[in-house]
Amino acid sequence: MRKITLSMVTLLCGLLLFTACNPKEDAKPKGKDIYVQLYSVRDDIKADYTATIAQVAEMGYTGVEAAGYNDGQFYGLSPADFKQSIESVGMEVLSSHTSRPLAEKPAETNWDETWAWWDAAIQAHKDAGMKYIVVPWMPTPTTLADLQVYCDYYNQLGERCNAAGMRFGYHNHSFEFNEIEGTLMYDYLIENTDPAKVFFQMDVYWVIEGGQDPVAYFNKYPGRFELLHIKDETEIGRSGKVDFENIFNNVDASGAKYMIVEVERYTGTPLEGVKESYDFLNNAPYYKETYVEAPPER
């Protein structure tokens, strides 16, 4: 055995100290769990997908929600390549906005074509590593009977997504807070879909624009809002219209596990707005490190 000299020990200690004080350049402290809807940077993605994804990751975002599914691809990439492109920059694939509206008279829908489309879409989303598929919009039915057709549709979609290991949800705007035959459309959707099959991705800004209170809905329908869209008129926190502190102080009733930033309008560039919105939440004392419950210790 070689004799370890004092000089060797000194050198080893020095190397360890240098490594501790000089972490790798690509290592960065982990922020809070905050996701981003890629529609927020839609124009940048069209110009340069790879560079935009890298910049979003550098901001600190945990993962992404896609808004670019078409004919089996995401932003022109195969599901596997899309997944790899997100994971290669240290983010995760969480969810995707995609939809196929029914016929103008919903009862006249060609169901064979509709389910064939969804079977292909669900498989592509599964291959991309999605946890959630979310319908981002629907036409406004004129009768409760037509709205019930959509509720039945969403329940069946939820069954198919569950069978593929994913969850299915619906994302609101403000028109869902109008009445159809004396009933609020949003309430009817929630009350006539099965919680085991359908969750609701509440967009907190659009709830307020619809004249309603997000926290009141958390309490009225506890556990139904598995994903939240955190949005403001422009960058998060700028307008003063949305009481984010109250929302996050009462969010436990909602059942939300993931918070997703969406910025549709900007005071500067889209990338600046997305960064400002991330920083607002990451620095907010009332925003938790994560909203996913840790598994119980054995």
- Residues 41, 42, 43: CA angle, nearest 5 degrees: 95
Other beta carbons within 10 Å of 294: 6
Model-level pTM?
0.89
**β strands within the chain, DSSP E:** 35-37, 63-66, 69-70, 73-74, 92-97, 132-135, 167-171, 179-180, 183-184, 198-203, 227-230, 258-261
Q: At what angle do helices 79-87 and 111-127 cross, to 10 degrees?
A: 40
Structure tokens at 215: 């926290």
| Structural domains of the chain sorted by starting position, each given as residue range(s) with its CATH number in brackets | 33-283 (3.20.20.150)
What does each of the 298 residues of the chain score in pLDDT, given as a tens digit? 444 444 444 444 444 444 444 444 444 457 999 999 999 999 999 999 999 999 999 999 999 999 999 999 999 999 999 999 999 999 999 999 999 999 999 989 999 999 999 999 999 999 999 999 999 999 999 999 999 999 999 999 999 999 999 999 999 999 999 999 999 999 999 999 999 999 999 999 999 999 999 999 999 999 999 999 999 999 999 999 999 999 999 999 999 999 999 999 999 999 999 999 999 999 999 999 999 986 555 5
| Euclidean distance between CA atoms 120 and 72, whole angstroms | 7
